[in-house]
A and B are shown apart, each in its own frame.
Chain A
């Protein structure tokens, strides 16, 4: 069933019909904002994004710019399993896998690109990751670049740990953890 909403448009009264008073009223609103902003610039609500940002509220579960987590030795936790690329509904992740010569975890991403101009910030990549390697907790809102190239995050842009890391979670991280312990 399609619900139908009936709108009763009120007929215009005399003052509205003669047009000019309403124009003056409109200009008055604009002028009021103009002079308030001119005299008290601190109260302007608009932010000059992306140069200026507003701090995001609290510890809410927000999906913000992606990052790739690092192991204790600085290598990416990602093992290029392509789960995020498979889950991504926007086809914005591009991975090329490569092989470690000695590290027992065997596989790592030689290329890991996220095209932010395509990303829909849905968080499916984080859900899909079996290695706890990708996160969207940087609290940075992506966007606001001048070229398309600036919207492309490469592996180097993505690799970063937050304070308190590295974490040792993840499915095949057993191999990596053993390897790291062996190196000590």
Chain B
């Protein structure tokens, strides 16, 4: 175990730890561009130069292994001068188009310039090397080669994380630039991570392009509900609008976030967002829609089937379980078995639903039918009216089609409503209301509202509560936590 001294502080680190990582453990920040904890060490940006005793020259902290008795200084004049000079090199050809650059505000060049340089440029703007600006690469990214500092984080990401190797540094020395390899396109499912790890504004997101300035954005912790992996994410929002989702790196589940997961926020602000009830194909107000649905449930009485959903939170599934219990029907199902596991070796799960494990918790307490048995009962006509969340209804769509059972669904977006649904009731998405999800590893994700729901749209448990009241079942739910009563033993 080598013992290393950095700026007078001594620490014993594991063998193979770099000086930069050791400094991080000691709370000493060393500036870096090309170093990334999840990528291989490249050592090309020279920003992390530190002074090591007995070494003739400054060494790059990211690629120097900590050795026993090593004495490192990161605050000497020599290091400070080195940082200033490296920044001067990096900024020689920088176009300084911060006013039109989306990275401004979270840019490594801006931040380090203010922290370590503040020097006036000695190079004339006319002499800067010109490169291609604004080049759309792939469905999600824009590349600006003028802003690039050739740290090769993007190249290493594509070759090491996605293993698709679309990008490379072309040509040599002053001529080098990042480009796609011939005949390739940048269309893997993780491209937006490149925009995140790019320390400058060379790679920017097409989706976020010119939407907002980053310093206006507020950050809220969320989890991605795109699949059962349940990656931790961060919603960046301002004035009730979500602008983007970014990963919240953690040791258990994810460092990155897939492109499809990042786009899940769009459904919240989509044009087809439901704010009213739907009966057959016509929009009507929520109240009459609720009454109509309640009448149909009353009509069918014991022939009502309640289907939980792996796309709903634990609380909302529990609310459905309470409704089923109140209606004294034995036809309810919280059994969703999907094959789980990482499908692509990075993040995307084989299970497309975010909360099958959470629904299983309700099943463990309440019991209920297996999904096949439920579908069979629907197909045989034993269940005449089905109460289900839109995407869960899709799981039994064949049975619904053969029997023609009346389907009452809950949906957030018009596009989700399954064909042939009799009535649809809107509910607030999980960016707008609280809920608990359980990912495939069994980790709980407690979601808190980020933005406000459209006017008149209520959380799922509140819709169930009202539907129950109108059909003669008093559930008395005042909050999502109230619904957790459904998880208590009778």
A binds B: yes
A-side interface residues toward B, CB under 8 Å? Answer: 79-83, 86, 97-99, 104-107, 130-131, 171-172, 174-175
Q: Report the minimal beta-carbon distance from A81 to chain B, rounded to whole angstroms.
A: 3
A86 and B100 in contact, given A80-B210, A107-B210, A174-B125 (Cβ under 8 angstroms): no
Inter-chain contact A106/B213, CB cutoff 8 Å: no
Tell me if B99 is interfacial: C-beta within 8 Å of chain A: yes
B binding-site residues for A, Cβ under 8 Å: 95-100, 104, 125, 133-134, 209-211, 213, 215-216
The chain B residue with its CB closest to the CB of A172 is: B97
The 3 A-B pairs with the shortest beta carbon distances in the complex, nearest first, are A81-B99, A97-B210, A172-B97
B213: chain A residues at CB < 8 Å are 81-82, 86
Are A172's CB and B125's CB within 8 A?
no
Residue of B nearest to A81 (CB): B99
CA distance A152 to B76 in the complex (A): 55
A171 → chain B, closest Cβ, in Å? Answer: 6
Count: A-B pairs, CB below 8 Å: 47
Residues in B neighbouring A174, C-beta threshold 8 A: 95, 125
Q: Which residues of B contact A175 (CB under 8 A)?
A: 95, 97, 100, 133
Say which residue of A80, A81, A98, A104 sits within 8 Å of B98 (CB atoms). A81
Q: B215–A172 contact, CB under 8 A?
A: no
Query: Are A130 and B99 touching (Cβ within 8 A)?
Result: yes
Q: Let me know if A171 and B98 touch, CB within 8 A.
A: yes
Residue of A nearest to B211 (CB): A97
Contacts of B98 in A (CB 8 A): 81, 130, 171-172
| B133 x A131 contact (CB < 8 A) | no
Min CB distance A104 to B, Å, is 7
Residues of A within 8 Å of B125, CB to CB, are 174
Known: A86-B215, A104-B133, A106-B134. A172 touches B96 (CB 8 A): yes
Query: Which residues of chain B come closer than 8 Å to A171, judged between CB atoms?
Result: 96-99
**C-alpha gap A164/B98 in the complex (Å):** 28
Task: Check A79 against B100 for contact (C-beta < 8 Å).
Answer: yes
On whether the beta carbons of A172 and B100 are closer than 8 Å, the reply is: yes
A131 contacts which chain B residues (CB < 8 A)? 99
Using Cβ atoms and an 8 Å threshold, which residues of chain A touch B104?
81
Q: Quote the shortest CB–CB distance from A112 to chain B (angstroms).
A: 14
Question: What 11 new A-B contacts, CB under 8 Å, besides A106-B100, A172-B97?
Answer: A79-B100, A81-B99, A81-B213, A86-B215, A97-B211, A99-B210, A104-B133, A171-B99, A172-B96, A175-B97, A175-B100
CB distance from B236 to the nearest CB of A (A): 15
Q: Which residues does chain A contribute within 8 Å of B210, judged by CB atoms? A: 80, 97-99, 107
Question: Contact at A105–B215, with CB atoms within 8 Å?
Answer: no
The CA of A130 and the CA of B100, in the complex, are separated in Å by: 11
| Nearest-Cβ distance from residue B428 to partner chain A, whole angstroms | 27
- Contact A107:B215 (CB < 8 A) given known A80-B210, A98-B210, A99-B210: no
A104 to B99, CA, bound (A): 13
Distance in Å from the Cβ of B93 to the closest Cβ of chain A?
Answer: 13
Tell me which residues across on chain B come within 8 A of A172, comparing CB atoms. Answer: 95-100
Nearest chain B CB to A178 CB, angstrom units? 9
6 contacts between A and B (CB under 8 A): A81-B98, A81-B104, A104-B134, A105-B100, A107-B99, A172-B98
Q: Which residues of A contact B209 (CB under 8 A)?
A: 99
Distance (whole angstroms) from the CB of A165 to the closest CB of chain B: 20
Q: How far is the CA of A153 from the CA of B97 in the complex (A)?
A: 28
Q: How far is the CB of A116 from chain B (nearest CB, A)?
A: 22
The docked-state distance in angstroms from the alpha carbon of A86 to that of B213 is 9
Q: How far apart are the CA atoms of A139 and B81 in the complex, in Å?
A: 49
CA distance A120 to B104 in the complex (A): 27
**Smallest CB separation, B240 vs chain A (Å):** 15
In the bound complex, CA of A97 to CA of B96 (Å):
19
In the assembled complex, the Cα of A16 lies from the Cα of B213 at a distance in Å of 67
Residues on B with C-beta less than 8 A from A97 are 210-211
Across-interface contacts of B134 in A (CB, < 8 A): 104, 106
Q: How far is the CA of A107 from the CA of B209 in the complex (A)?
A: 10
Most central of B98, B100, B134 by chain A CB within 10 Å: B100
List residues of chain B with CB within 8 A of the CB of A81.
Answer: 98-100, 104, 213
Given A99-B209, A99-B210, A83 and B99 contact (CB-CB distance below 8 Å): yes
Q: Complex formed: what's the CA distance from A174 to B211 in Å? A: 23
Residue of B nearest to A178 (CB): B130
Looking across the interface, which residue of chain A has its beta carbon closest to that of B100?
A107
Residue among B95, B97, B98, B134 having the largest count of chain A Cβ atoms under 10 Å: B97
